[in-house]
Structure 1
Amino acid sequence: MSTDAFAAAIGKGASLHKPRFTEALRTGLIFGAIEAITPIIGWFIGQAAVSFAEEWDHWIAFTLLVLLGIHMIYNGLQEDEEEQERSGQHSFWVLAVTAFATSIDALAVGVGLAFVDVNILVAAAAIGVATAVMVTLGVMLGRVLGTVVGKRAEIIGGVVLMLVGAGILFEHLSAV
């Protein structure tokens, strides 16, 4: 489940100007916390409405990631009058929306876990820790890629987010 968050983190890291490890860790913790919370929410949803969650989760993730990707591409294509440097940090809300979009599958997993005998808190904690580690590493890998591609890193990051969204949608539609 953490692979889509990892890919998004690479894009986020690439769009920043030399993010420090503390920013990578902050991003990892935000993604990890949200990725840990969503299966718990899914577990509660699973008690009530299994069909709705499974029917729409991939469309919600796809839409959010494509919109975020378009926004990043738009920002990357804007000509800077004073050649501003890329930011060293993303806002909490941008990270939270991206993390939520990549954790929709964890929500669906939580729905499924509602029907088996599993401790949802232990499963959610394991998912959250794995995601936090992978996202932290992804941001640092994105830092290297951002240095290589320079100013257009935000465009590449936007394309990565859109591809992650398309991948989630394709995975769910091809399973039907």
Structure 2
Amino acid sequence: MSLISIVLLALAMSTDAFAAAVGKGTALENPRWTEALRTGLIFGCIETLTPVVGWWLGYAAADFVEGWDHWIAFTLLGVLGVRMVWSAMKHSSETEEEKPQRHSFWLLAVTGFATSIDAMAVGVGLAFLNVSIWPIALSIGFATFAMVTIGVMVGRVLGKFAGRWAEAIGGVVLVGIGATILYEHLTALS
């Protein structure tokens, strides 16, 4: 793969993580750069590993991963998104001071995994192209780290203007990302 192809692939793989990070940033009480970097690191590490896992699975069980990746992503993102919307509606009467200072590691890890299912599917495809996976996986991970870090800080700004509704919007975005992944896969089969 050319350098330009790798860069474009890395940016494409990090866009849904960026959107999720904006939602995560809006749900926090004035997130700091340290929290944005922490979130970016968690998402970036996961996004680095999933294409490697997909590449490995491409040799072992490509049909299984390709057959279910869109359903896994849709389910995980849908559940997380609905949870965010429900949380925003449940706490809509509370003040801004009641937002958490940071998200739990596990919540970020599950969200990061859900947004990286497509990177795993890309890894499966790359296994058949006989390319070196590590430069590509590291590029995807670095792009995701940068995009998620920026996304959390964008969410911080949006959260100040939109308040608790921003968390609901972030949840709707996650559901939308999951639905888009599912729709694109199902329409590609037609």
TM superposition score normalised by structure 1: 0.95
Task: Check 1:80–1:134 CA distance in 2 against 1; reply closer, same or farther (3 A cut).
Answer: closer
Alignment of 1:15 with 2:27, yes or no, is yes
- 3-state DSSP of counterpart to 2:145: helix
The AA in structure 1 aligned to 2:21 is A
Distance 1:115 1:94 in 2: 33
Q: Hey, what's the Cα distance between the residues in 2 that align with 1:62 and 1:148? A: 29
Tell me the distance in 1 between the aligned counterparts of 2:26 and 2:94: 21
Distance in structure 1 (CA, Å) of the matches to 2:153 and 2:86? 24
CA deviations on 1:9-68 (whole Å, 9 max, x unpaired) are 111111111110111111011000000000111011101111111111011000000001
| Contact 2:80 2:171 (8 Å CA) reproduced | yes
What residue number does 2:53 align with? 41
Q: Structure 1 residues 78, 53: closer, same or farther in 2, change over 3 A?
A: same
Encode CA deviations 1:65-114: one digit per residue, 9 max, x unaligned.
Answer: 00011111111111478645211211000000000000000100111111
**Pairing 1:136–2:187 present:** no
Pairs within 5 Å for 1:37-76: 37-76=49-88
Aligned AA (1:105): D
The match for 1:99 is: 112
For the Cα contact (< 8 Å) 2:92–2:164, is it kept in 1?
A: no
- Listed as ranges, the gaps of 5+ residues in structure 2 are 1-12
Aligned to 2:99: 86
Q: CA deviation at 1:170?
A: 1.4
Of residues 79-88 and 158-167 in structure 1, the stretch that sits farther from structure 2 once superposed is: 79-88
Distance 1:114 1:82, change over 3 A: closer
For residues 80 and 149 of structure 1, what CA distance do their matches in structure 2 show?
12
Identity of aligned residues (%): 62
Match of 2:127 in 1: 114
User: In the superposition, relative to structure 1, how do residues 51 and 147 fare at CA in structure 2: closer, same or farther (>3 Å)?
Assistant: same
Give the RMSD, CA atoms, in angstroms.
1.4
| 1:147 partnered with 2:160 | yes
Q: Distance in 2 between matches of 1:81 and 1:67?
A: 23
Query: Normalization by structure 2: what TM-score?
Result: 0.88
Structure 1 residues 125 and 74: alpha-carbon distance in aligned structure 2, compared to 1, 3 A threshold:
same
Count of matched residue pairs: 176
Aligned to 1:3: 15
The gaps in structure 1 that reach 5 residues or longer are none
